[in-house]
């Protein structure tokens, strides 16, 4: 469960909390991201989080998925919302102008089981803010190591974690109807 500090607001400056020293970068957008709220998810956030996860995951992986798999996943909102509804207590969301633009989930074993940012907000620091919140929560809980799995073909995600000190610890191949994929298990020492 994500506990830790209460929600905080970032305004194009380093946040004052010593737990989360973050900086949000403006991106080439009509209106740059200037303030971001990181807060614990609520049960009411389940449907928006599911839509965000679907959109971000499909955008990141559409070039490696077969067309029929993409079509099935595009229609999977209800199932995904049901899953998120059962897990919302372990999720933090990033809000910009009252819209959820990113989400991170961490379980009690120190596993980041999801980190997604809407494609139009990637590159603005939203993912980094969520990542730092997750790592801070794990450290505060006394976790000595963090773990995650990411699709091996998702080079951007692998690079994101490697740039933060994560190391590959193994690979796993899975099969869903019509698609075989390999994940990379990564670890990060926290203590």
Give the separation between CA 154 and CA 92, rounded to whole angstroms.
23
**For all residues of the chain together, what is the average pLDDT?**
77
Average pLDDT over residues 53-77: 69
pLDDT computed for residue 3 by the predictor = 43
pLDDT computed for residue 160 by the predictor = 93
At 93-132, the pLDDT tens digits run 999 988 999 999 998 889 999 999 999 998 888 999 999 9
What is the pTM for the complete model shown?
Answer: 0.76
Q: For residues 179 and 73, is the Cβ–Cβ distance under 8 A?
A: no
Average pLDDT over residues 162-175: 93
At 23-32, the pLDDT tens digits run 444 445 555 5
pLDDT computed for residue 57 by the predictor = 81
Please report, for residues 3, 115, 190, the alpha-carbon distance to residue 39 in angstroms, rounded to integers and kept in the order given. 10, 14, 22
Question: Quick one: which of 63, 152, 148 has its CA closest to 114?
Answer: 148
User: Where is pLDDT greater, at 108 or 86?
Assistant: 108
Question: Quick one: which of 40, 142, 22 has its CA closest to 91?
Answer: 40
pLDDT computed for residue 84 by the predictor = 57
pLDDT computed for residue 169 by the predictor = 96
Give the separation between CA 63 and CA 42, rounded to whole angstroms.
33
At 132-143, the pLDDT tens digits run 999 999 999 999
Map out the domains of the chain as residue ranges: 8-143
Break the chain down into helix, strand, coil percent, rounded to 5.
35, 30, 35
pLDDT computed for residue 166 by the predictor = 97
Say which CATH topology domain 8-143 has: Aminopeptidase (3.40.630)
Give the separation between CA 102 and CA 127, rounded to whole angstroms.
7
pLDDT computed for residue 30 by the predictor = 54
DSSP-based three-state secondary structure for 31? coil
DSSP-based three-state secondary structure for 141? coil
Average pLDDT over residues 77-91: 61
DSSP-based three-state secondary structure for 154? coil
């Amino acid at each position: 469960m994500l506990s830790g500090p209460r929600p905080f607001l970032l305004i194009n400056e380093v946040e004052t909390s010593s737990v989360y020293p973050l900086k949000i970068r403006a991106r080439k957008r009509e209106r740059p991201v200037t303030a971001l709220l990181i807060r614990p998810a609520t049960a009411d956030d389940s449907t928006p989080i599911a839509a965000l996860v679907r959109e971000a995951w499909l955008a990141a992986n559409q070039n490696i998925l077969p067309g029929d798999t993409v079509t099935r996943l595009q229609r999977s909102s209800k199932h995904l919302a049901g899953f998120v509804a059962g897990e919302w207590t372990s999720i933090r969301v990033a809000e910009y102008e009252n819209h959820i633009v990113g989400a991170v989930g961490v379980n009690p074993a120190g596993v980041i089981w999801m980190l997604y940012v809407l494609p139009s907000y990637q590159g603005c620091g939203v993912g980094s803010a969520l990542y730092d919140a997750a790592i801070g929560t794990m450290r505060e809980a006394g976790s000595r190591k963090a773990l995650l799995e990411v699709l091996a073909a998702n080079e951007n995600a692998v690079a994101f974690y490697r740039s933060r000190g994560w190391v590959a610890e193994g690979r796993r191949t899975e099969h869903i109807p019509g698609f075989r994929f390999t994940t990379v298990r990564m670890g990060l020492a926290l203590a």
